[in-house]
Amino acid sequence: MRDTIQAELMMSFLVSEELSFRIPVELEYDPVDPYAVRFTFHLPGDTPVTWAFARDLLLDGLSAPTGDGDVHIAPVSAGLLSDVYIRLQVGDERATFRASAAPLVAFLDRADRIVPMGQEQTVGDFDGRLVETLDRILTQARNAG
């Protein structure tokens, strides 16, 4: 199976307009779930929190505001590849983070080398066919013995 892509970067957790602090965030891309990226936020004094969302949502959010529902991503400056805001929401609770675009682009580039964007279904189909083929081989071996 293909390797999992991992990276760590520092993001600013924006508590208010006046208060923010930097936290480590682990990024993960696993070809077993080729459409998703995972962010694990390490907030001081709390258990790490992991969010999974669409890889293409992250890519699109680097250049234009995107997201419906619980995850919204937008560039800080329109038309420039600079920092991005990542806003996560559960009910009325929101958390906003600011991250440099460069490490996100590097992370997405590494993921794209393993599973190119638009070819996620091919990876999923391969895994399904592999399981079916191995199951058929094992069944034939049992029946032959």
Domain assignment of residue 15, yes or no? yes
Q: Stretch 2-15: mean pLDDT, rounded?
A: 92
Residue 108's pLDDT is: 95
d(CA 48, CA 42) in angstroms, rounded, equals: 5
- Percent of the chain beyond pLDDT 90? 64
Domain total in the chain: 1
Q: Is 143 exposed, middle or buried (0-12, 13-18, 19+ CB in 10 A)?
A: exposed
Enumerate residues 6+ apart whose C-beta is below 8 A from 138: none
Polymer length of the chain: 145
124 has pLDDT over 60: no
Kindly compute the dihedral angle of the four CA atoms of residues 49, 6, 83, 44, in this order, to the nearest 10 degrees: 30
Q: pLDDT for 31-87, tens place per residue?
A: 988 999 999 999 888 899 999 999 999 999 999 999 988 999 999 987 777 899 999
User: Taking all residues of the chain, what is their mean pLDDT, rounded to a whole number?
Assistant: 87
Q: What range defines the domain where residue 51 resides?
A: 5-117
CATH code of the domain covering residue 74: 2.30.31.20
